Amino acid sequence: MKRHILISAVLAVSLLISAHARADGLTTVGHYNGTDGSFFEIATYLEDGETVGVMGISHKVSVAFSKNEWHSFVELWRRAESVQSNSFQFVGTYKETNTTYNSLLTVAAGPGVQFTINDSPGTLVFVLSPNDYASFDAAVGTISATLAASLK
């Protein structure tokens, strides 16, 4: 349990520091720019032989998924990308476990996919453009494959 807390803390810190100073073990799989100057990243993190999935907004807030929890995000993503609406519709949530601050990810979809992350520094929102769905889907697939390989 303490190990999960340490991993989540390292992940949060590594998403908060600049890209040039990131700790070894963090591999950014996808980077998406928002229209307001914000950005959304999806990555894997490896420490002490354990790989987790992580996503964050503008190096300020993040949420992590153990290899056994990643499927929860994949399900949210699959539902979100299929929503066709002119207004945002609630899709679902995911709450971190075994961390000192259990970050909350809320997903809504409509004219894009809206990711809201509530983490200890605060709450930020990022809207993924439909133009980025294919690239994001590929990044989700890459992380799924990486986490599946780490189960062996």
Q: How confident is the model at residue 150 (pLDDT cuts 50, 70, 90)?
A: confident
When comparing pLDDT for 19 and 81, which is higher? 81
d(CA 83, CA 78): 9
Q: Write the CATH number for 130.
A: 3.30.2450
* Confidence grade of residue 152 (pLDDT, cut at 50, 70, 90): low
The whole-model pTM stands at: 0.83
| Side chain identity, residue 109 | A
Residue 100 domain boundaries: 2-150
* pLDDT value at residue 47: 75
- Please name which of 112, 114, 60, 70 lies closest in space to residue 92, comparing C-alpha atoms: 114
For residue 127, the surrounding DSSP H or E stretch is: strand 122-128
Q: Summarize the confidence of residues 52-57 as an average pLDDT.
A: 95
Q: Which two tokens stand for residue 139?
A: 């990044």
- 151/71 Cα distance (integer angstroms): 13
Q: What is the pLDDT of residues 120-144, one digit of tens each?
A: 999 999 999 999 999 999 999 999 9
**Spatial CB neighbours of 68, under 8 Å, sequence gap ≥ 6:** none
Confidence of residue 24 (pLDDT cuts 50, 70, 90): low
Q: CA angle, corner 31, sides to 1 and 61, nearest 5?
A: 45
Residue 113 near residue 30 (C-beta atoms within 8 A): no
Q: How many domains does the chain have?
A: 1
